[in-house]
Amino acid sequence: MGAAMIRAFVAIPLSEAIRGQLGLLAQMLPLPRRVAPEALHLTLVFLGEITEPQAAEAHAAFETIRAARFGLTLRGTGAFGGARPRAVHAALAPEPALDRLQAKVAQAARQAGLEIERRRFVPHVTLGRLKPGEVEPWRLEQALLQTAGFAAGPFEVDHFSLYRSHLGRSGAAYEELARYDLA
């Protein structure tokens, strides 16, 4: 029998106040499937399907990360998927400390032997998902223009966490496996 697999990712959790503002923002967008407010987070690295021993290995590597606390500001909205958008998100104001933390987490995951995507880090908070053709492109475009001025924060980031994702019929539920405090 093989080792149990878990679907895991590393993310910055968001405060209740910020999640509330994002929930209101999501209601202004034509999203057939919204992310539940309690599930909103900022992913640093998606680890994918890994074994429990791999998760333990990654946890040990994440514990060695040293970084200072920093502030983040959510600013604007956007969509991923080009002409056929699949996800709508809140964007973030550029923050070098966030980019450095993400690079450290990605490096630690690789040192733990995990294969992670090499694509460029685009910090965002996913608000909802859609299937092609579910929403008329002009409606989504209009809504994104109307919410382009959205801003929330700044808020302090004082830790990041390792999560397990449980996929269910009504979307994913996330379980915090470990928390890593920033200095």
Under 8 Å CB-to-CB from 65, ≥6 apart: which residues?
Answer: 101, 104, 105, 108, 180
| H or E element that contains 47 | strand 41-51
Which domains does the chain carry? Answer: 5-181 (3.90.1140.10)
Stated pTM of the model? 0.93
Question: Given this model, what pLDDT does residue 1 score?
Answer: 47
CB burial of 67-97 (b: ≥16 within 10 Å; e: otherwise) equals beebebebbbbbbeeeeebebbbbbbeebee
In sequence order, the β-bridge partners of residue 160 are: 180
d(CA 54, CA 5): 9
pLDDT in tens, the chain (183 residues): 466 899 999 999 999 999 999 999 999 999 999 999 999 999 999 999 999 999 999 999 999 999 999 999 999 999 999 888 999 999 999 999 999 999 999 999 999 999 998 889 999 999 999 998 899 989 999 999 999 999 999 999 999 999 999 988 777 789 999 999 999
Residues 161, 177: Cα–Cα separation, whole Å? 7
Give Cα separations from 178 to 8, 23, 63, 172 (angstroms): 11, 25, 9, 18
User: Quick check: 54 and 113 in contact, CB under 8 A?
Assistant: yes
Tell me the catalytic residues.
41, 124
Angle between helix 52-63 and 96-111 (nearest 10) = 130
